[in-house]
Amino acid sequence: MSPSDVSTSRKRGLGMGLSALLGGDSELLASAGTKRPQSRHVPIEFLEPSPLQPRRRFAEDELEALTESIRARGVMQPLLVRPVADDRQRYEIVAGERRWRAAQRAGLHELPVVIHALADRDALEVALLENVQRQDLSPLEEADGYRRLIEEFGHTQAELAGALGKSRSHIANLLRLLALPPPVRSMLEAGDLSAGHARALLVARDPAALARIVLARGLNVRQTEKLVQADKTPSRRRAAAQKDIDTRALERELSERLGLNVTLKAAGNGGTLTIAYRSLDQLDGVLARLR
């Protein structure tokens, strides 16, 4: 298969997504090198979660709501599973772990599944795609899913945007959240901060400190943006005030001696000295003094 064929099949698989796998799309299966899937009902105890599952949390209220739905109507969509290598009776859940958890609570004894012999790489990609298409992911879970699809599978932001029906700016903005310090990420993960709050805090000098102020005051996103901007401004004023105290007198003395405007700017333990001249004669005069 040529590089262009590989790219085409990868994009086709990404675009078709989970529905194509569940539907047994022959072209997709051929490109992935997998056999036609099998549909059956499997005892619930023969199913197990996948160690590749990118989803880190299952909200209790959502699980309970799904449990009640399953009690009333059963499992409407089959789980996507793959055989466990060392046990022909057991299957690893590629997509549908939440349904499996809720079905156990509902007391079901077996579940409808679609069995695919997927390699680890294919199983992880499908699990990531299934997760980022959901509406109930936290912003960080969604961002981490995009990151892994980009870093581990070579997808671009533009490909993901087109395949998942998202805007490219949506994906880019979520990826930026991964740069937040751990305390702020924890607040975002817990739902104490929104993604809008977190994006405003990204440019703060101390995002964690300001995040605590945001929570204490109950600030909205616009107020958070103003807080971040106000936190930047005093630092410039303090720097200017410090220069007035420490260097203005020396600037005046040098300016008087040279007859030119002299500016000093500190940088760590050093800094720069700038002499402004308005003509070549003035420059010659400075050079003569230095020589």
Active centre residues (catalytic):
97
β 47-49/38-43 pair status: unpaired
For the record, the structure tokens of 250 come out as 């020396």
Spatial separation of the C-alpha atoms in residues 73 and 80, rounded to whole Å: 19
Residues in the chain: 291
Neighbours of 277 (CB within 10 A): 15
Spatial separation of the C-alpha atoms in residues 273 and 263, rounded to whole Å: 6
For the record, the structure tokens of 255 come out as 């300016």
Neighbours of 253 (CB within 10 A): 11
Neighbours of 91 (CB within 10 A): 23
Spatial separation of the C-alpha atoms in residues 282 and 60, rounded to whole Å: 77
Q: Which residue has the tokens 């079901």?
A: 108
